[in-house]
Amino acid sequence: MAEPPAKRPKIVRGEDDYLPGNIVEIELRNFMTFDYLKCKPCSRLNLVIGPNGSGKSSIVCAIALGLGGDPSLLGRATNVGAYVKRGEENGYIKIFLRGDTEEEQIIITRKISTQNNSDWLFNGKAVPKKEILAVTQRFNIQVNNLTQFLPQDRVCEFAKLTPVQLLKETEKAVGDPQLPIQHDALIQKSHDLKIIERSVERNGETLDQLKALNAEQEKDVKRVRQREALLEKAKVMKKKLPWLKYDMKKAEYMKAKELENDAKNKLNEAAKTLNDLKEPIEKQKKDKVALEAKCKKVGSLISDNAKRRMEIMEKETQLEVQAQGKFKEIQDLRKQEASRQQRILRAKEELAAAESELKDLTSYEPPTAEIIKLRASILEIEDSERNLRQQKSEQERSLVQLKMSLHHCVDRLKDMESTKSKLLYALKHSGTEKIYEAYQWLQEHRSALNKEVYGPVLLEVNVSDRDHASYLEGHIPYYMWKSFITQDSGDRDFLVKNLRPFDVPVLNYVGKSGRHKEPLHIPEKLRALGIYSRLDQVFDAPDAVKEVMISQFGLEYSYIGTTETDQKADDVSKLGILDFWTPDNHYRWSRSRYGNHVSGSVDPVDRSRLLLCSSDAGEIERLRSRKKDLEDRISDLEESLKPLQSDIRQIEDEASKLRKRREEIVNTINHHNRKKQEMVNRVDQRKKKLASLQEEDDLDTIVKKLAEQAAGFNAERYKCALRVKELLGEAFSHKRSFADKHMASIEFDAKIREMEISLKEHEKFALQASLHLEYCKKEVEDHRRQLGAAKQQAESVTVITPELEKAFLEIPTTVEELEAAIQDNISQANSILFLNPNILAEYEDRQRQIEAIARKHEADKRELTRCLAEINALKEYWLPTLRNIVSQINETFSHNFQEMAVAGEVSLDEHGSDFDQYGILIKVKFRQAGQLQVLSAHHQSGGEWTLSMKERCFSN
């Protein structure tokens, strides 16, 4: 048994009167009702009190949220964004805690925003929330424990706590932190103890019943066991029977194996004889193969000789053809010489004619003066044309600029005259300078959005009545009119990221659009006071936009009346209408959460500046005047361009005529020059041709050279003939050798055939021996299969163990004797009769149950002793400590009630070993007559109940 855990060391106050974990300072920014608050509570802060509307709830909420609590524990809102002051985007809570020493200070900061985001800082450094919770756990700060931290809105929850729940929450809030752990352990162990006690009692009764039943059946069990002994002996005999059959099959198998060995020996002798006969045959075959290789080699030499003779004869044929070709060339040259002399004569005549034509060509003088004059005229015209084109280009640029200005002016005028532009213009002049850019950006990126996005809200709302527009604009904050509304969280994040530079809010609507609402019904009492409508009924907007406006600003609770309502405003508020509008005033009432009294305010109605805005009339008139001026200037420029275009066309025609004349003169000069050059080239070509004909080689020299080449070819032919003669002699010698070797190979074939005939006879004998061996092998295989089947059958019946082998020695050794003995034992067993065939199984099963239950019974007794010891050890520490804590609470509680002239006490409701029933009872007495009674809603009034709850919390 482990010793109880050590007590938590006692914490004492320091010289500054603070305990570790006490709140030293609270700083708030844009939180609920506070713009900024900085307060330093004293060392013993336990209650926050003050007049209505002073911000008590705001401070309590800040403590809970700043120390890691969830919004839900405050009973006000489910998300942290609702605690940001209305009209602001973000805020923060900063709480200073006293550390373990006076010098150590802990600063916890929580930054919150309307987007429900929270950022945590510990001593100025960003940390995850789990580190903040570790700090609060270190100082036992439990903002979710109603006995330690009781917000006003959760008093009713505290009142619902049962005595058992009240005890558990008290254990968590004060005293040793081991108390709730020990209490849970005691509850669990007491539950386990009851289960063990019931098990011990139940198992003892079961053991007595089972032992009595077995004592009654012992005689019958003895007879059953005698019968089973006979059957067991017969069963052992049956196990030996397949093994005797196996021994018989084994003897048959061994006999077949001997026959197989004899056949194998005969086959080996036949094989040896065959090998002795095959060796000389193989030798003859090898000799024949060597001889055939020599024949093949000689045949190769013969083929090679024939190939070389063929190559030499082909070379001789080629040499003959070349020699004949040389003789033919000599004949052709003699014929060509006569033709060459005729060509030389003709070339000389053509050269003389070309020189005569070149000499007769007349000279041509180009008109240089006229060309210079034409060039000067063309340059002058081109200068004039360039100037005119420059003027035209400048006027066309001016015209384009004026048309662009006119286009921008028209677009601007349309924008100023359109409804959306008027509204955007009004938003821009009211302080949202970049609303045009934000709206344009949304239009350009709508394809990237998942769902429809609305905005700015001012463009989506339509109000037909001027008074209603003033009411709606006065009720809705300005930031809402410039907001954009999404219906998808991804779209919201996308717009927040990209619209941040334009300073416009982005809201996300996650409800169901177009929810069904009951039609507006104004009771007759209200109609009599001039109330005729409600603020959520006087405007049209997309469902998402309308739902956001109604849910954010409570439009369904703001009513609209007439001038008659001004005179009866007090009567309206008495009917529960706390917000309504008249043509001149806006009435608002607020009800105190504590004293339930009502305070009101009246504000004058300001006329609408956004919903019913109109564009700047002076700006529109100015744009129209500029549009007319631009149109007139464009018309004048277009008229001035027409004569310029005509002058340019006339100058272009004149310049074209001059360029055409200059081109004709240049073409004439080029034609004369080309003709003269062609004649000069013709004379040069004919001179070269004549020189080429005269420089050809002398005929006699060429003929002599060709004759020498032909004689050389004939000498090579003679050498080839001599080489062919030598090769023919070699071929005869090779063929004679081939014939001798071929005859010897034929003799080898005859000898091999004779030896193979003798070999075949011995092969027949060997084949018979092989077939006999195969038959013997088949017989052996059949006996082996039968032996395997017999062994498998015997092993399926039983496997022989040393004990079984010893038993087999006392059993008959033949199949017939064994089968007779089996039948005798079965007959004797069948002669023993009894009524219940399952009595032995029942007896043995019951005996096993007795042994198992006895073991479980002993184990439960040991477990019962151990569990009692653990409970007593835990109870010795837990119960005195708890009694001491409740006594201290009772002392403070009774003292405080006595100070208020009433009586009260807090006591521990003990229930022995039922630790889950332990609780704390609060007893009070508010009247002189009467006794202390347990606090409940049936005996005390609502005020007495609330006072007791708060005093109980304070006593902790």
How many CB atoms lie under 10 A from the CB of residue 569? 19
Instruction: Identify the CA nearest to 93 among candidates 161, 41, 30, 136.
Output: 30
Give Cβ neighbours of residue 324 (< 8 Å, ≥ 6 apart).
none
Nearest to 505 by CA among 473, 476, 481: 481
938 pLDDT higher than 50: no
DSSP, res 94: E
In angstroms, the CA 807 to CA 616 distance is: 126
Tokens at 383, concatenated: 């200068």
pLDDT given for residue 582 in this prediction: 92
Q: Give pLDDT tens digits for 695-722.
A: 655 566 777 777 777 777 778 878 888 8
The total of other beta-carbon atoms located within 10 Å of residue 352's CB is 11
Least Cα distance to 760 among 263, 273, 268 occurs for 273
Does 733 or 441 have the greater pLDDT score?
A: 441
Question: Which of 426-435, 529-538, 871-880 bottoms out in mean pLDDT, i.e. has the lowest?
Answer: 871-880
Residue scoring higher pLDDT (1 or 538) = 538
Other C-beta atoms closer than 10 Å to the C-beta of 421 total: 17
* Residue 434: strand, helix, or coil: coil
Question: What is the C-alpha separation between 534 and 560, in angstroms, rounded?
Answer: 6
pLDDT band of 905, cuts 50, 70, 90: confident
Q: Is the pTM of this model over 0.95?
A: no
Model confidence at 592, pLDDT cuts 50, 70, 90, reads: low
Tell me if 423 sits within 8 A of 459, measured CB to CB.
yes
Angle at 820 between CA 817 and CA 824, to 5 degrees: 135
**C-alpha distances in angstroms, 444 versus 36, 77, 810?**
41, 38, 108
CB atoms within 10 A of CB 283: 10
How high is the pLDDT of residue 512?
Answer: 61
H or E element, residue 908 = strand 903-909
Under 8 Å between Cβ of 90 and 112: yes
The residue type of 383 is D
Q: Are strands 90-98 and 34-39 parallel, antiparallel or unpaired?
A: unpaired
Q: Do the Cβ atoms of 55 and 36 come closer than 8 Å?
A: no
Q: Report the b/e string of 160-193 with b at 16+ CB within 10 A.
A: ebebeebbbbbbbbbbbebbbebbebbeebbeeb
SS (H, E, C) 778-838: HHHHHHHHHHHHHHHHHHHHCCCCHHHHHHHCCCCCCHHHHHHHHHHHHHHHHCCCCCCCC
Determine contact, residues 18/43, Cβ cutoff 8 Å. yes
**Mean pLDDT, rounded, for 642-646:** 80
Angle made by CA atoms 436, 441, 447, in degrees to the nearest 5: 145
Mean pLDDT across the stretch 775-786? 82
Strand partners of residue 600: 589
Q: Model confidence at 5, in pLDDT bands (50, 70, 90)?
A: very low
Cβ–Cβ < 8 Å for 811, 818: yes
pLDDT value, residue 167? 67
Query: Residue 8 above 50 pLDDT?
Result: no
Per-residue DSSP letter, 80: G
Q: Which residues contact 191 (CB under 8 A, 6 or more apart)?
A: 916
- The pLDDT of 227-235, averaged and rounded, is 69
Q: Is the pLDDT of residue 147 over 70?
A: no
Residue % of the chain over a pLDDT of 90:
4
d(CA 307, CA 300) in angstroms, rounded, equals 11
pLDDT tens digit string along 539-562? 888 889 999 999 888 898 899 999
**Contact (Cβ atoms closer than 8 angstroms) between residue 533 and residue 560:** yes
Spatial separation of the C-alpha atoms in residues 877 and 782, rounded to whole Å: 87
Residue 153, pLDDT > 60, answer: no
Give yes or no for residue 63 having a pLDDT over 70. yes
Query: Is 348's pLDDT higher than 80?
Result: no
Where does residue 882 rank: exposed (0-12), middle (13-18), buried (19+ CB within 10 A)? buried
Evaluate whether 622 touches 487 at the Cβ level (below 8 Å): no
Q: Residue 338 has what pLDDT?
A: 67
Q: Give the Å distances, CA to CA, from 914 to 4, 189, 910, 918, 953.
A: 20, 10, 8, 7, 26
338, containing H or E segment: helix 218-360
Residue 450: Cβ within 10 Å count: 12
The stretch 394-413 carries a mean pLDDT of 80
3-class DSSP state of 78:
coil
The position carrying tokens 């420029």 is: 637
Instruction: Note the pLDDT of residue 486.
Output: 94
Residue 487 has pLDDT above 70, yes or no: yes
How many Å apart are CA 173 and CA 552, to the nearest integer?
A: 38
Q: What span, in angstroms and rounded, lies between the C-alpha atoms of 472 and 608?
A: 9
- Give tens-digit pLDDT for 826-837: 766 666 655 566
Structure confidence at residue 937 as a pLDDT band (50, 70, 90): very low
Closest CA to 911 of 171, 199, 195, 187: 187
Least confident stretch, 349-353, 632-636, 853-857? 349-353
Compare 919 and 444 and report the one with higher pLDDT: 444
Q: Count CB-CB contacts under 10 A for residue 767.
A: 12
Length of the chain as a residue count: 956
Token pair of 496, please?
């927040």
CA distance 742 to 894: 145
For residues 558 and 551, what is the distance between their CA atoms, to the nearest angstrom? 12
pLDDT of residue 7: 42
